[in-house]
Amino acid sequence: MLRSPVSILVYVLILNISGLARAQNSCAVGSCGLDQSAIASYPTPRVVPLQIDEGLLYDREYRQVSAELDIYDQPAGEVIETLGTGYSFVTVQEELDGWAQISDGKWVLSDSLGEPWTPSRFAGVTLPDQELPYTMAWTLRHLNGANTPGGPEVASNPFLYRYSRVNIYSTVQVDGYNWYQIGTNQWVHQFKVAKLLPVEKPEEVDTHKWVSVDLYEQVAIAYEGDRPVFATLISSGLEEWPTNEGVFHVYVRFPRTLMSGAYNQPDFYYLEEVPWTMYFDGDIALHGAYWHDGFGYRKSHGCVNMTITDAHWLFQWAEDEYDFANADYIGPAVYVYSSGEYD
């Protein structure tokens, strides 16, 4: 059958496009990236994870409230307020004969509360004086790497738990997305890791200690001058409640504070004793979050969520940036930006 010139041209274009796709996926096992000997010389990032303080994590009992909650002035006393339905947590100080004290002069029926909530045990890392030889990343899910860029996960590859720290040794693009080499014949899609990407100090940053928040990678880094000293995964605002970009300053801070919003709306939330909170942009703060373990993904109403361990470290680290003797309560600068665009 004869083909018209147009049909031949279309056919050639299809062949070229399909050939390009094959070329992007044609990296044979062991033919790209670093070899085993190079990887063996630096197998894991030389960083130091924060130590988990059991007392810090479990000094309170966090309980979720799943329905409307009456709050009493004492056990079997008078109702003084009612907490509406929403995403709510309270902290229990003590329990007595079926009643739970959630703060001074406030009691609720114990059976109106959920089971005790376990805070995340993830912790960020302190960084060495020298620049890391390879970009560090955290895995965002349990995984086995693929043998080749663009390939399927292979069960025989080492199993990595979520939050594992890995090096990115090499990068290959497949169908417009980055695939990162994290080991010998181990490759992962860019969406499965969050990278630590230090930035230059912006001119607007006027404090020695400052923090960068990368909304794309969902990573926060603490700096002293130009040197990054600490990094961790965070959870910033969802699309409906974005974390604003720009340079800000911490202007007030609390070891524990109540956070509540959207009263009588579907997204109402009430969170007692939010730990290690530093407000920097109106109602937006850096703070610990005991109510989820999804760090590395956007999850908040605009705040920058961290684990209790990380938020406590940052809170203490920031202390000497304030000059309380001279009534200077302006804390570290916070630089919020995005190193990429969400797909």
**Residue range 59-78, pLDDT digits in tens:** 999 999 988 899 999 999 99
How many angstroms separate the first and last alpha carbons of the chain?
44
Predicted pLDDT of residue 50: 98
Q: Which of 49, 210, 245 is nearest to 136 (CA)?
A: 49
The answer to whether 145 touches 154, Cβ cutoff 8 Å, is yes
| Position 106 pLDDT exceeds 80 | yes
Q: Residues 312, 316, 319, CA angle at the centre, nearest 5°?
A: 145
Find the farthest-apart pair of alpha carbons in the chain and give their distance in angstroms, rounded. Answer: 92
In 10 A of CB 322, how many CB atoms?
A: 18
CA distance 148 to 12: 28
Predicted pLDDT of residue 224: 98
Residue 103: strand pairing partners: 106
Q: Which of 9-13, 53-57, 298-302 shows the lowest per-residue confidence on average (mean pLDDT)?
A: 9-13
**Residue range 73-92, pLDDT digits in tens:** 999 999 999 988 889 999 99
Predicted pLDDT of residue 267: 79
| Position 16 pLDDT exceeds 50 | no
CA distance 180 to 193: 9
In 10 A of CB 78, how many CB atoms?
A: 7
What one-letter code names the amino acid at 27? C
**Higher-pLDDT residue of 192, 18:** 192
Q: Residues 54, 55, 57, CA angle at the centre, nearest 5°?
A: 65
Q: Residues 193, 198, 201, CA angle at the centre, nearest 5°?
A: 150
Delineate the domains of the chain, giving CATH numbers in brackets: 9-44+134-193 (no CATH), 59-117 (2.30.30), 209-337 (2.40.440.10)
| Position 228 pLDDT exceeds 90 | yes
Q: Which of 64, 106, 66 is nearest to 85 (CA)?
A: 66
The answer to whether 194 touches 298, Cβ cutoff 8 Å, is no
User: What's the gap between Cα 8 and its chain centre?
Assistant: 51
pTM above 0.85, yes or no: yes
| Position 5 pLDDT exceeds 80 | no
The answer to whether 113 touches 90, Cβ cutoff 8 Å, is yes
Q: Which of 208, 187, 263 is nearest to 29 (CA)?
A: 187
Q: Which two tokens stand for residue 194?
A: 């969050």
Name residue, tokens 């999850």.
299
Predicted pLDDT of residue 335: 98
3-state SS assignment for residue 99 = strand
Q: Residues 105, 107, 109, CA angle at the centre, nearest 5°?
A: 170
Predicted pLDDT of residue 25: 53
Predicted pLDDT of residue 296: 98
CA distance 109 to 82: 12
% of the chain with per-residue pLDDT over 70: 90
**What Å distances lie between residue 28 and 22, 23, 25, 150, 152, CA to CA?**
11, 11, 8, 11, 13
The answer to whether 189 touches 181, Cβ cutoff 8 Å, is no
φ, ψ of residue 301 in degrees (nearest 5):
-90, 20
Average pLDDT over residues 277-289: 97
The answer to whether 148 touches 27, Cβ cutoff 8 Å, is yes
Task: Count each helix (H run) and each strand (E run) in the chain, helices first.
Answer: 4, 27
Q: Which two tokens stand for residue 180?
A: 């990162």
Average pLDDT over residues 231-242: 96
**Residue range 267-278, pLDDT digits in tens:** 789 999 999 999
Q: Which two tokens stand for residue 299?
A: 């999850």
**Residue range 292-323, pLDDT digits in tens:** 999 999 999 999 999 999 999 999 999 988 87
